[in-house]
A and B are shown apart, each in its own frame.
Chain A
Amino acid sequence: MDNFTKNALIGCAITCAIVIVFFYVGSALGFTDIAGTDGKVEGQAAESGSKEAHATWYELSENGEYVGFALAGGFGGFIVGYTWTMVFDEAGSKGGKALG
């Protein structure tokens, strides 16, 4: 494993750790009701213009979002993993054949 890949993976691990820690601390401190600014401003705009926002497909439950994100992440991960060497392989970066 070259340094770039190693550091990228370390970066991912650190990012995940930060997310988990913030998630835990936020949950423990009762920040679970923090609303998104998009939704807040959009709600303000909709109210001022007598409009009503609605979901495109359907509202996923909180757990549904976790499952959806996990599936999307897994699916995307396989695609990225399959093409990983094409991006980072030295031969590939020089325009040669670099299929993993």
Chain B
Amino acid sequence: MHISDGILEPQWIVFWWLVALAFIAVGVYQIRKKSKGNPTYLPTLALMGAAIFVISVWHIPVPVTGSCSHPCGTPMSAIIVGPFPTVVVSAIALFFQTFVGHGGITTIGANSISMGIVGTFTGFGTWIALRKFGVGIFWAAGMAGFVGDVLTYVTTAFELAISLHPEEIFRYWVIFAVGFVPTQLPLAIVEFVFTGLVVRYIADVRPEMLKFSGFSFGSQVA
């Protein structure tokens, strides 16, 4: 989902930046609020930022397709520290990833929209919805990871299509999305498993950490 510099049209660069900044502003406000009187919140948030940086830059080969890609990590972070703060640490991770050839400065807004906002909020929404329906922690968190991962790439395809082919958005959206599918689908399954395992484990040994997001479900035991 890392769109490089030089690809998007200037008006879309500005638009995605403005939308991302609105979410980042809310995120910064929430971080300040949540960290007051809770000394464990900021270090946990920093850990999530580090996890997102590593997870979303770690290319895993899919030999069958002859290519490689990476999971996102933002759904897991949203479940643990909340969705808006995740947008902030995701943007920071995207900035540092430009130093290792992933993404670009002008496209941090667009990349924040796909991974930091769509991936985060759809994953978090899936988690909340499934937990409300009584689905177990592993399956709810796993589905959050899967949905967030897939929709991150669907959004990236949309961003490319709307910027480069405004006259045939839907056609190119499908073309670019299909380009991601063969490699990204197996990795979305990987994201399903590790998100489910990590959240399940935290729920077992440090259930209080799952209250940082602002949503908790009783004892957090499935």
Contacts and interface: CB of A to CB of B under 8 A. Distances in A.
Contacts of A87: 40, 43-44, 47
Interface residues of B, number: 54
B21 interface: no
Nearest to A32: B61
Contact of B43 (A34, A59, A72, A83): A83
Given A37-B179, A56-B5, A80-B47, A26 B61 contact: yes
A54 B6 contact: yes
B32 interface: no
A80 B206 contact: no
Contacts of B165: 48-49
10 contacts: A36-B67, A38-B2, A46-B164, A49-B164, A49-B165, A56-B5, A59-B101, A86-B39, A87-B43, A95-B40
A60 interface: yes
B157 to A, nearest CB: 7
Nearest to B99: A57
Q: By CB atoms of chain A within 10 A, which of B42, B65, B179 has the most?
A: B179
B1 interface: yes
Interface string B125-153: 00000000000000000000000000000
Interface of chain A, main secondary structure = helix
Interface string A66-98: 001100100010011001101110001101111
A41 B40 contact: no
Interface string A1-18: 001100100000000000
Interface string A24-35: 001000010011
Interface residues of A, number: 46
A96 B205 CA distance: 19
A28 to B, nearest CB: 13
Contacts of B42: 83
A48 B164 CA distance: 8
Interface of B: 1-7, 37-40, 42-44, 46-47, 50, 53, 59, 61, 63, 65-69, 96, 98-105, 156-157, 160-161, 163-165, 172, 175-176, 179-180, 183-184, 201, 205-206, 208-209
B39 A53 contact: no
B61 A95 contact: no
Interface of A: 3-4, 7, 22, 26, 31, 34-38, 40-42, 44-46, 48-49, 51-57, 59-60, 65, 68-69, 72, 76, 79-80, 83-84, 86-88, 92-93, 95-98
Task: Across the A-B interface, give the 8 residue pairs with the lowest CB-CB distance, nearest first.
Answer: A49-B164, A53-B4, A83-B43, A41-B179, A37-B69, A37-B183, A45-B160, A87-B43
A44 B101 contact: no
B39 A41 contact: no
